[in-house]
Structure 1
Amino acid sequence: MNPETGVVPGTADSDGTGRRPRVAVLFGGRSSEHSVSCVTAAGVLEAIDRNKYDVVPVGIARNGQWSLVSADPSTWSLRSQTLPEVTVGTESVVLSADGTSSELVAHADGTLPRSLGRIDVVFPVLHGPFGEDGTLQGMLEMADIRYVGAGVLASAVGMDKHFMKVVFESAGLKVGPYEVITDRQWQKDASAALERAARLTFPLFVKPARGGSSMGITRVTDPTGLRAAVETAREHDPKVVVEAGITGREIEVAVLQGRGTDDPRTSHPGEIAVQHGGHEWYDFEAKYVDGTAAELSCPADLPAEISERVRALAALGFEAVGAEGLSRVDFFYTPEGELIINEINTMPGFTPVSMYPQMWAKSGLQYTELIDELISLALERKTGLR
C-alpha cells in the first residue's frame, strides 16, 4: 500500500482467474455536457492500462443511442477548439444481464444480434442529467453491473444543488444564502420568485439546479438582470437555484473512497485562481477552452489547521450524501476564516488537466494509478443494497 494515498496495487482481477477485467468506458450522453464527457473519455482512454484491462468504448449520442465507438483518444479530445460529438450510428448497443454475468449486445436492422462479450465493470464518465444524476446508476443496479462512482441516491443528491444544500445543512456543514425557483413557482408568479431572489446580497449566481460545467450560469450584479438570468438557466433545467455571491477564496478537495471500511481519502486542498483575461469567474470557457484562464495551486497556501479542517469537511460532505468512488468537494474560504461548502461533484472533470486528477497527482497518486484505483474500488464493491 502507498502510505500517502492508501492505494493497494495489483488488485484489479475481478474473478480470481487471472483474466483481465473488461471495462466499458461510457461517455457522451443526452445532457448539455455531452462534449465535456467526450473530452473526459479521451483522457481515460489514453491513460488506462491496456495490459491490465480490456477496454470497450461505448458512446451515447444525444438522442440516447448507445454504440460501439472509436477507442482512439484523439477522436474525443479537443481538436482546434472543436467540441467532440458522439454521432448516431447504424448499430445500437444494449446491456444484457442473465443474473450471473452481463454482456454488451449489438443490434442493427436486418441482422441478428451479436455479442460483444462480457462486461465486468462500467466506467461512466458522463456529466450532467441522464448520466451523473442517478438515472444511469439505477439502470446499472437493475442489471447487476458494477460501476465506478456514486450510487443512485448520492448521484441524484449530488446533481441537485437544492437538495445537496439541504443534506449538507443537516450534516452541520455551512452553506451560503440561496433561493430555489421551481418550474411551478415561475409559471405561477415569476415576479414573486424574482422578488424573493432579489432579497439576496448581490452579485448573484443564477444556476440550473441540475447542471454542471458552468453551463447556463449567469453572474448578476443588479435586479435588472435577474429575469434574463433565470430564463437562461431554465434553458437547461426548469428548476433554478439563485446563490448569493460569497467573498472568499475557492478551495477544492479531491475525495477518494477508502478500501473496505476505511475512511474516505482526501487530497491536498487546491485553489483555483482565474487569470481573468475576459473571465470574471470560473466559467465554461475558463474550464475547458482557454488553457491559460485558470491556475491550480496545490497544496493551497492555507494555515495548517485550515488545510486539515477543509479536508475533514470534504470527507464529511462525501459521506453526508453517501458518495462512493470519487468526488470533488468545493468550498469558499472567507476573510473571516469561515469554510462554506459550495457543492459536491460526484463525477468531476476527469481529463489529465482537470482539477480532480491534478490534486491527486500533487498528493502522490498519478492519473493512470487513479484510474486503476477507481476500477478496483468498483470491482470490490457489491452490487445491490449495501
Structure 2
Amino acid sequence: MKVAVLAGGRSSEHDVSLNSAAAVREGVAEAGHEVVDVLIERDGTWRHGDEVLALTPGGGLLGADVVFPVLHGPFGEDGTLQGLLELLDVPYVGAGVLASSLCMDKIVFKEVLAAADVPQVPYAGVHLARWRTEPEAVLRELAVLGTPVFVKPARLGSSVGIAKASSEAELGPALDGAFAHDSLVIVEGFSPGLEVECSVLGFGTAVEASVPGEIVLTGGADWYDYEAKYTDGGMELVVPARLDDRVIEDVRRLAVDTFVRVGCSGLARVDFFVEDGHRVLVNELNTLPGFTRTSVYPKLWEHSGLPLPQLCDRLVALAVERFNAERSVAF
C-alpha cells in the first residue's frame, strides 16, 4: 500500500516526532509498502518535499491508501489531527477522535477509569483561573495528597512541564511551571511502586498486549523525567518486568481492558505502577507513543516476537480494517 507518514507537528515534541517517524518509515518500507513523506512544520504548514500542501475535505492525502501519523502532543494525538483525517476520508493508524482527545486529557482519562473503579494513584485537577484567584484554597485542597507529588500539564506528553514537588513549599512553583504549558494541571500522589509499561495492539474485540517491561532509571534521576526518557543512558528497559507471572498477566489484562474501555484502536502504551509486588495501578495511556527503534512501544513488541516491520504492517492493516468497518454503516 501507499502509506503517508506524518512527522513533526506544532507541539514541543516536534523533534521527538521526527525521530519516531524515521523509524516508522524504515519499518513501513521494510514491510513492503511505499512511503510518502509529509512534514508538518512548527507553524502548522504541511509539506511534501518542496510542495506546500493544500488539503481538500473528502480528497484524501496524496493518493495514500493509509496515513500513519507519528505526531506527539497537541495537534498530533489530541483528536484534532484525527478529525482532519476523518474529513479527508482516509484510513489512519491509531485511535479515533474521541479516544485521542480523552486520553490526551489526563484528568478526563482518570475520571473515566475512576467511574469503573480501576485502581489509580490519588489525583486532583487545578484550573489556571482558580490558581490565580484562590491560591491558598488550592494549596489547602492539594495538601490531602501529601508530598511528594507530581505536577503535570494535563494535556501534554513526554514529561514536558512536569515537576516533582517534595514539599509544600515546592508545590506553588511547580504549579506555576506547569501552567506555563497548559491552563489545566493535574497533581498526582506519589507511588513507590515499580514503573511498568505494556504495549497494546488491535481493534474491536481482537486486542492483545505485549510482554510488560520495567523502567529502571540509570542516569542518576530520581524520577522518569524528560532527560531520563530521551537521553542515552537515562533509563534501562527490563523485559519482562521483574514481577510474578500472575502479576504480569494482571498488567496485560488491565492494559487491554483500559485500551478497550476508552475506545482505542491500533496502538497504545499503557503505563502502570506496581506496588508491593502485586498491586497494579493504571497511570496513563499514550495513544501515539514514541516509535524509534529504542522506544518502549516497539521494543516490547520485539521482545514479544513482533519485530518493527511486521508491527508497522499490522498497524497499517488495522487502520484499513477500522476504516472499512466504520464506513460500512449509514451515518
What TM-score do the two structures reach when normalised by structure 2? Answer: 0.94
The alpha-carbon deviation at position 183 of structure 1 amounts to 2.4
**Alpha carbons of 1:336 and 1:54: their partners in 2 closer, same or farther (altered >3 Å)?**
closer
CA RMSD of aligned residues (A): 1.7
Q: Distance in 1 between matches of 2:129 and 2:57?
A: 40
Partner in structure 2 of residue 230 of structure 1 = 175
Equivalent of residue 360 in structure 1, options 279, 296, 301: 301
1:128 to 69, 73, 90: 73
Q: Shift in Å at residue 42 of structure 1? A: 1.4
Question: Superposition pairs for residues 122-271 of structure 1, below 5 Å?
Answer: 122-258=67-203, 261-271=204-214
Aligned position for 2:224? 282
Q: Which range is displaced more, 166-175 or 150-159?
A: 166-175
CA shift, 1:182, in A, is 1.2
State whether residues 171 and 320 of structure 1, in contact with CA within 8 Å, keep that contact through their aligned partners in structure 2: no
- Separation of aligned partners in 1, 2:244 and 2:278: 10
Give the aligned residue type for 1:150: A
2:45 to 46, 65, 88: 65
2:215 equivalent among 257, 269, 272: 272
1:50 & 1:68 partners in 2: Cα distance?
21
Q: What does the per-residue CA deviation read over 1:341-386, in whole Å, with 9 as the maximum and x for residues that have no partner?
A: 1010011111110001010000000011111110111112226577
**Structure 2 residue corresponding to 1:375, chosen from 303, 316, 321:** 316
- Cα deviation per residue 1:218-259 (whole Å; 9 max; x = unaligned)? 01100111111111111111100000111100111110015x
Rounded to whole Å, the distance in 2 between the matches of 1:67 and 1:209 is 30
Q: Give the counterpart of 1:330 among 271, 276, 281.
A: 271
Query: In the alignment, residue 44 of structure 2 is paired with which amino acid?
Result: G
Q: Deviations over 1:315-359 (max 9, x none)?
A: 111011100000001111101631111010011111110001010
> 1:294 maps to which residue?
235
- Give the 3-state SS of the residue equivalent to 1:96 in structure 2: coil
Residue 382 of structure 1 aligns to a residue whose secondary structure is: helix
Q: 1:190: Cα distance to partner? A: 2.3
Residues 268, 362 of structure 1: 8 Å contact kept: yes
Q: CA deviation at 1:172?
A: 2.8
CA distance in 2 between counterparts of 1:137 and 1:240 reads 24
- SS in structure 1 at match of 2:284: strand
Answer whether contact 1:210 1:237 (CA < 8 A) is retained: yes
User: Superposed, which structure 2 residues align to 1:28-177 within 5 Å?
Assistant: 28-49=8-29, 52-69=32-49, 91-98=51-58, 102-104=60-62, 118-177=63-122
1:263 maps to a residue whose letter is A
SS in 1 for 2:55: strand
1:381 partner SS: helix
Change (3 A) 1:164 1:194: same
Amino acid at match of 1:265: E
**One-letter amino acid of the structure 2 residue matched with residue 253 of structure 1:** C
Where structure 1 has 5 or more consecutive residues not aligned to the other structure, the ranges are: 1-20, 70-88, 105-117
The aligned amino acid for 1:306 is V
Structure 2 gap ranges (5+): none
Separation in 1 of the partners of 2:243 and 2:173?
38
**2:159 alignment partner, SS class:** coil
SS at match of 1:199: helix
Q: How many residues are paired up? A: 327
Aligned CA distance change for structure 1 residues 103 and 155 (closer, same or farther; 3 Å): closer
Higher Cα radius of gyration: 1
TM-score, normalised relative to structure 1: 0.81
Q: Secondary structure at the match of 1:339?
A: strand
Instruction: Give the Cα separation in 2 of the matches to 1:270 and 1:362.
Output: 9
1:50 deviates by 5.5
What do residues 252-283 of structure 1 show as CA deviations (whole Å, max 9, x unaligned)?
Answer: 1110015xx54311001110100142x11111
Give the letter aligned to residue 361 of structure 1.
E
Structure 1 window deviating more from structure 2 (183-192 vs 325-334): it is: 183-192
Which portions of structure 1, spanning 4 or more consecutive aligned residues, are displaced by more than 3 angstroms?
383-386
Taking the aligned partners of 1:271 and 1:323, their CA distance within structure 2 comes to: 23
Normalized per residue, which structure has more helix?
2
Asked whether the 8 Å contact 2:228–2:235 carries over to 1, the reply is yes
Equivalent-residue separation in structure 2 for 1:314 and 1:28 (angstroms):
28
